[in-house]
Amino acid sequence: MAKNAVVMEGIFYEINGIKILEDINLTIKENDFLAIIGPNGGGKSTLLKIIMGLLKPQKGTVKVFGHLPHESLHKIGYLPQITHFETDFPINVFETVLMGRYHGPLHNYSKDDEKSVLKSLQNVNMLDYKEQQIGELSGGQLQRVLIARALTREPQILLLDEPTASIDPQMQKNFYELLSKLRNEMAVVMVSHDIGVVSSYVETIACLNRRLFSHGPVETAKKGLEEAYKCPIDLIAHGIPHRVLREH
């Protein structure tokens, strides 16, 4: 039987008395490929930070592979949502990804670390750029490098916050194909405000707008999405990622 990667029970989270998350119950299995979709401010990034133990809920419990979040941090690969990323310092692509293999202050990087970095860069089609300064990359290229950095940790669960935000359609397709390969080795969770990212590769969808509205196979998620967004949505019919919002 598949193991539980993440179990959240009765999570409540608020900031300054404002409810951000209410009564979240969510189980993610070790090989799930889950998309969490919801409007801006719905609490998606917050939820990921709670899974990693960066934020502590006022109520409820979180277990990651049966342990407290901070005890399982080494099993988690994370792509933060990029709002602003300072690239104005001298570090190249290879070195940026190598940071994902950081073992602590007294440990040097090994040949295995270097091999893993090259493999991760290959996975996101950025190997040719390994010597390039990160300040010289486009937004989408930078995002791919940061995905490589998350992958190089060889995580058991990969958390991706708006991973396709600045990636072009061709690269998105490659990216989804990569994720569907990776899910044999790890649980993959991606969050996005853009229902267009939901593709045939995603297995289950949860809809988050302070509350979690549904968590199930793509076909049954439509109702939950409409509740979360408070407007009618035409969701994926034939596996081609697209976004259609009827007049509302």
Ligand X SMILES: Nc1ncnc2c1ncn2[C@@H]1O[C@H](COP(=O)(O)OP(=O)(O)OP(=O)(O)O)[C@@H](O)[C@H]1O
Chain contacts with ligand X (rule: CB under 6 A): 15, 20, 38, 40-46, 81, 193
| Residue closer to ligand X (CB basis): 26 or 97 | 26
Q: Does 180 bind Mg ion (CB under 5 A)?
A: no
In the complex, minimum distance from the CB of residue 155 to Mg ion, in angstroms, rounded to a whole number = 20
Closest CA to 176 of 210, 200, 207, 212: 200
In angstroms, the CA 245 to CA 248 distance is 8
Q: Which is nearer to ligand X, 117 or 147 (CB)?
A: 147
Number of Cβ within 10 Å of residue 183's Cβ equals 18
Q: For the CB of residue 20, give the shortest distance to ligand X in the complex, in Å.
A: 4
Interacting partner of 83 out of ligand X, Mg ion, none (Cβ under 5 to 8 A depending on kind): none
Q: How far are the Cα atoms of 37, 123, 169, 170 from residue 176, in angstroms, in the given order?
A: 16, 11, 11, 10
Closest approach, Cβ 81 to Mg ion, in A, equals 5
- CA 190 to chain centroid, in Å, comes to 4
Question: Any contact of residue 4 with Mg ion (CB under 5 A)?
Answer: no
Binding partner of residue 43 among Mg ion, ligand X, none, CB cut-off 5 to 8 Å per kind? ligand X
Under rule CB under 5 A, residue 80 binds Mg ion: no
Q: Which does 100 bind (CB under 5 to 8 A by kind): ligand X, Mg ion, none?
A: none
Asked if 155 contacts 163 with a C-beta cutoff of 8 angstroms, the reply is no
Site membership for Mg ion, residue 55 (CB under 5 A): no
Which residue number, 101 or 211, has a Cβ lying nearer to ligand X? 211
Instruction: Please identify, using beta-carbon distances, which residue of 20 and 202 lies nearer to ligand X.
Output: 20
Name the minimum Å distance from CB 202 to ligand X. Answer: 17
Beta bridge partners of residue 209, listed in sequence order:
211
Q: Which is nearer to ligand X, 15 or 91 (CB)?
A: 15
Residue 208: CB minimum distance to Mg ion, A: 10
- Examine residue 92 and tell whether it contacts Mg ion (CB under 5 A): no
Residues 6 or more apart from 114 whose CB is under 8 A from it?
98
Among 4, 27, 81, 166, which residue sits at the site for Mg ion (rule: CB under 5 A)? 81
Q: Which is nearer to ligand X, 15 or 68 (CB)?
A: 15
DSSP reduced 3-state for 62: strand
Q: How many CA atoms lie within 13 A of 29 on its CB side?
A: 11
> What is residue 12's three-state secondary structure?
strand
Closer residue to ligand X, CB minimum distance, 49 or 130 = 49
Please, which residues bridge with residue 29 across strands? 4
Residue keyed to tokens 């189980």 = 27
- What would the DSSP string read from start to end of 79-102? E---S-----SS-BHHHHHHGGG-
Please report, as ranges, the residues that interact with Mg ion according to CB under 5 A: 44-45, 81
